[in-house]
Amino acid sequence: MRVLAIESSCDESAAAVLDSDRGLLAHELFSQIELHRVFGGVVPELASRDHVRRLLPLVRNVLESSGTAPRGLAGVAYTAGPGLIGALLTGAALARSLAYAWRVPAIGIHHLEGHLLAPLLEADPPPFPHVALLVSGGHTLLIEAREIGRYELLGETRDDAAGEAFDKTAKLLGLPYPGGPQLARLAGSGRAGAFTFPRPMLDRPGLEFSFSGLKTAVLHAVRAREMSDGVKADVACAVQEAIVETLAVKALRALEQTGLDVLVVSGGVSANQRLRARLAEVVRHRGARVYYPRTEFCTDNAAMIAVAGLARLASGQHDGLAPSGLAPSGLAHTASAHGGLPIEARAQWPLQTLPPLA
């Protein structure tokens, strides 16, 4: 089985082709970072317009470089949510139109399921069941992943996501968007212990997170003194420590609570080297193992959407778009009988509502 996948939930346009026998055959990505940088954050309307420009050439490229003809596809997977609604709709419209024209099924994929399954692309994939720590720009979740499609939420953030905390504090330090990787780089030259910021919710039982207090603490620290490059690096170091320690303690707690000995970490913040070093200590101490996607698949990409798409198509799931290949008797007729081409995307979409695989 071979699947084409499209990702457009935020500020990355991406396409990939994954084959169940031969693995990942092609993946391409266009990052809109330069487009949004002057605004200090993602401008949704600009993101949507740029996806419209970028997606089709990316799709052409991955089909060509993987030697894939449309008739060789088992389906087209696309990110249907959660994310920026306009951005999502560009990918959904393209994916469903291609599927319609090629008469193959389309399948809308949950962006976070993509992140969760990204480590399955590696040579040594994590076994199920496992605890997943999903740390991205929009989400911070601890999940018990029983198998593909069966996810139980153990805890999540009450306010800002971990990536958002990195980005917002980076902005307070005057670092350019996107701040997370920049702050991590600066933290490397800071002195540990020069500042100490709150480790939110660590003193309470449970697996919830809260990161919004961190920006207030950093704001006070920044306002109170002259900010030399050295002091900035010290602040960055303390911010990173506070976030990393909070994530590490809660991840350990989740392993203890579930009795599982496999931890999977994914999403943009899982690229953070300090987090990886700290989690390595935590799991070693417990006799557990930790798995990550390769660095380029920590942040948004289409390869991860292809993994989820292939798993769901293989189990017989799809969007139920009647005209596509499933109704050989007259495309136009079937299309009109169904009132045209339904294109749906969801800005909000709780992960726990996903159907299990058949």
Please calculate the CA angle 32-35-39 and round it to the nearest 5 degrees: 120
Interface residue with ligand KG4 among 166, 291, 292, 297 (CB under 6 A) is 166
HSE at residue 64, side-chain half, CA atoms within 13 A, is 7
As a whole number of angstroms, the distance between CA 175 and CA 201 comes to 27
Residue 293 binding partner per list Zn ion, ligand KG4, none, with a CB distance cut-off of 5 to 8 Å that depends on partner kind: none
Contact between 81 and ligand KG4 per CB under 6 A: no
50 counts as binding Zn ion under rule CB under 5 A: no
CA 258 → CA 157, 166, 211, distances in Å? 19, 28, 24
Q: Which of residues 292-331 bind Zn ion (CB under 5 A)?
A: 300
**Total number of residues that touch ligand KG4 (CB under 6 A):** 19
Q: Name the minimum Å distance from CB 247 to ligand KG4.
A: 11
162-172 helix and 179-187 helix, angle to the nearest 10 degrees: 70
Q: Which structure tokens are listed for 232?
A: 């900035």
136 touches ligand KG4 (CB under 6 A): yes
Q: Which of 113, 144, 234, 300 binds ligand KG4 (CB under 6 A)?
A: 300
The single residue among 91, 149, 163, 309 that binds ligand KG4, judged by CB under 6 A, is 163
- The smaller minimum CB distance to ligand KG4, of residues 3 and 243, is found at 243
What x/- string results for residues 5 through 34 when contact with ligand KG4 is judged by CB under 6 A? -----x------------------------
The pair of three-digit structure tokens given for residue 123, joined into one six-digit string: 């040579």
- Give the CA distances from residue 142 to residues 5, 207, 247, 264, in Å, rounded to whole numbers and listed in that order: 26, 7, 10, 10
Q: Does 184 sit near ligand KG4 (CB under 6 A)?
A: yes
- CA–CA dist 74, 290 (Å, integer): 32
Instruction: Return all residues near 36 (Cβ < 8 A) that are at least 6 apart.
Output: 11, 42, 43, 46, 47, 177
Proportion of the chain in helix, strand, coil states, percent, rounded to 5: 45, 20, 35
Residue from the set 81, 105, 119, 137 that interacts with ligand KG4 by CB under 6 A: 137
3-class DSSP assignment, residue 194 = coil
What minimum distance in Å lies between the beta carbon of 228 and ligand KG4?
A: 23
Contact stretch for ligand KG4 (CB under 6 A) within 29-37, 68-76, 134-142, 224-232: 134-142
- Binding test (CB under 6 A) with ligand KG4, winner from 106, 269, 279, 321: 269
Give residue 102's Cα distance to chain centre: 28
Q: Which residues pair with 157 in a beta bridge?
A: 209
Alpha carbon 355 to its chain's center: 19
Shortest distance (Å) from residue 179 CB to ligand KG4? 6
Of 254 and 269, which CB lies nearer to ligand KG4 in the complex structure? 269
Single out the residue of 136, 169, 301, 317 in contact with Zn ion (rule: CB under 5 A): 136
Residues making contact with Zn ion (CB under 5 A): 136, 300
Residues making contact with ligand KG4 (CB under 6 A): 10, 136-138, 163, 166-167, 178-181, 184, 267-269, 271-272, 299-300
